[in-house]
Structure 1
Amino acid sequence: MSLLEFYQMFAANRPDVIIPSSSLDIPTGHFNVFKRLGYCTLNPSPYNRRDFYKISLILGKGVLHYPNEKIVIDGPALLFNNPTIPYSWETTSEFQSGYFCLFNDSFMRQHSPSNDSLLLKIQDVPVFYLDELQVMTVSAIFEKMLAEIETDYTYKYDLIRNYVNLIIHEAMKMQPLEDPAGKTHNAASRLSSLFFELLERQFPVYSSDHVLELRTANAFAERLNVHVNHLNHAVKEVTGKTTSDHISKRIANEAISLLKHTEWNVSEIGYCLGFEYPANFNMFFKRQTTIAPKSFREAHHELADPRKR
């Protein structure tokens, strides 16, 4: 989903919102902030990958759906969604309030061009649950954003960028303290982050005619311009698992999602995930999940349809 597509969907529920189509690609980047009240509906948001960052203060209940898990939000929470991970939000309570802001990569990199941005430090933890004092603190920052974006101050977006960083810092303070020894692994962490970003860019798969371009450790290493042994060592050092393990798991998760949410047949799903022959896809899926793809789909449909229980 692009920023323009988001605004078009947003405006359907908020007629007062102006679609800023002429300012979405400016070099300084794009930023906007809103109150959630009056926007949330009981219909789940589309399950896909956005091309922008979104930070939300959730006051209300709902479920975040990710490729391989779902997170139940049953109390005040701070959510960080980034362009690499597809997700969907499902509202489960009538009461919904809070705030959200959205921005693209260009906006945050105006004064922080390094890959080691604050956003990278929290990318592995999408949800932070807040106590009453933390809700007040984060709400106050969002209110400052709302007020500042309406001003004519020349440097208002520099100030707003600082407010975004303040929210990120509040989240970082909620994370466990880092092991000082971990500082020696910065290079491995950077390379691993690049690998995972490249991996996630391939998903979700929107068309059965599209075939995954990168499916092996060698293919990723070539794209990242490093030796495959160097990539494998970095990923194993940071995660404890091999590059191939992560690739296989992510492809399997996408296969699960496609079996659940599309009507494509098993052969089409296997083909778009890079398996030329259905038998190879069947063996791969069974090795990853212990069940054949056709059996998995049938079992899921039975669970999803109360009439078949």
Structure 2
Amino acid sequence: MKDNQAIHMTEELPDIESNFKIHPFTEGTGCPISDVDEPHLHDFYVVHYVASGSGSCVIDFETYDIIAGSIYFISPGQLHLWNPEGPVDGFVLVFTEEFLKSPEAPVDNVFELDFFNSVLNSPMFMLSTEQKGELAGVMANLRREFSTRKQGYETVLRSYFHILLVSLQRMFFDRLQRPGVRTENRIVREFKKFVSDEHSPQLRVQDYAERMNVSVNRLSSVIKEVTSMTPGQIARNELVLSAKRMLANSEMNVSEICYELKFEDPSYFGRFFKRETGFTPSVFREHVRGKYRQLT
């Protein structure tokens, strides 16, 4: 089986310490590893802040403008490509879920953050003038601690990192203006991540509910209330998204992708994909690769 997906792993990050690193915005791309002018994935979380520059970026097949004063959140496994028009200035913050886990962390896990693994929220967030000023101070402290690395810097670094997460979460709360959305969206995001990781058409909603330690009724009602979709719809959407990523970013043939996604029959996989997208897998692959070639 050929699988040439461009997946950047945590261990490939140069000199990463404590699963956390800050990079200047690499010239020509948002990739925190090197200049990459092709669609690629990460197995870690990335926050891109654009201070200046323009162009476009594609995150899981949706195109977003590169706008100064905006933040872009990339979750593990999201296929993305940066296509700047000229120089881009800013920073790239990289961290793993392991870095987030500490007794002092402001959240129990990454699913409590509205801006990662989201079903509803855009991965792009435009900051107001006030918000840019607020984050500038936190980021200056983060970057100073990371670059100087004085005694005890990791403890201070985590503290500033937690302040950054709380600040971003507050900004999202202000935008969403939905009381109680944090708890409910945590369940939705956790379900989405489980489905994305497993990508199995054989698993039932009951299987996911048991893993999440919630009842099927609770899971279904929360997802329906927050997203207006059923758990089954989200599961199918994630399965299709996984197939799209593999078609766009690997050399596996359609049958290999079918079995990788735990479908038992390539013909059924083809019918499923066309029913959900309107394209056969082969036509979609040709279409999306043509689109990426135009961008690069």
Measured against the shorter chain, the TM-score band is 0.7 to 0.9
Structure 2 match to 1:82: 75
Aligned CA-pair RMSD: 3.3
| 1:71 maps onto 2:64 in alignment | yes
**Deviation digits for residues 86-106 of structure 1, max 9, x if unmatched?**
232424233122122222223
Aligned residue for 2:187, secondary structure, equals: helix
The 3 A distance-change label for structure 1 pair 274 and 143 is: same
Q: Which residue of 1 aligns with 2:204?
A: 216
Higher relative CO (Cα under 8 Å, sequence separation at least 6) belongs to 2
**Correspondent of 1:288 among 267, 276, 280:** 276
Is the CA contact 2:25–2:91 (under 8 Å) kept in the aligned structure 1? yes
Partner of 2:25: 36
Paired positions, count: 274
**C-alpha distance in 1, partners of 2:204/2:136?**
44
The letter for the 2-side match of 1:232 is S
CA distance in 1 between partners of 2:40 and 2:61 (Å): 13
Name the SS for the 1:71 alignment partner: strand
Could you tell me which residue of structure 2 aligns to residue 195 of structure 1? 191
Q: From the superposition, tell whether residues 118 and 234 of structure 1 become closer, same or farther in structure 2 (CA, over 3 Å).
A: closer
Conserved? CA contact 1:61–1:74, under 8 Å: yes
| 1:145-184 alignment runs, 5 A limit | 145-149=142-146, 150-154=148-152, 156-171=153-168, 172-173=170-171, 175-180=174-179, 182=180
Aligned-partner SS, 1:121: coil
Q: Tell me which residue corresponds to 1:108.
A: 100
Using the size of structure 2 for normalisation, the TM-score is: 0.75
Alpha-carbon distance, 1:39 to partner: 8.2
Q: Is the 8 A contact 2:114 2:185 kept in 1?
A: no
1:85-136 per-position Cα deviation (integer Å, ceiling 9, x unaligned)? 4232424233122122222223333212743669613333422223556445
Cα distance in structure 1, aligned partners of 2:256 and 2:185: 35
CA–CA distance in 2 between the matches of 1:114 and 1:270?
37
Q: Which moved more, 1:281-290 or 1:224-233?
A: 224-233
Match of 2:265 in 1: 277
Q: 2:84 aligns with which of 74, 92, 99?
A: 92
CA distance in 2, matches of 1:202, 1:213: 9
TM-score (norm 1): 0.73
Contact persistence 2:59–2:81 (CA under 8 A)? no
Paired with 2:176 and 2:254, the residues of 1 have a C-alpha distance of 45
The change in CA–CA distance for 1:303 and 1:139 in structure 2 (over 3 A counts) is closer
Question: Match of 1:57, as an amino acid?
Answer: Y
Structure 1: 5+ residue stretches without partners: 8-18, 24-28, 204-211
Q: Does 1:5 align with 2:5?
A: no
Unaligned runs of 5+ in 2: 1-7
Cα distance in 1, alignment partners of residues 130 and 10 from structure 2: 32
Q: Secondary structure at the match of 1:80?
A: strand
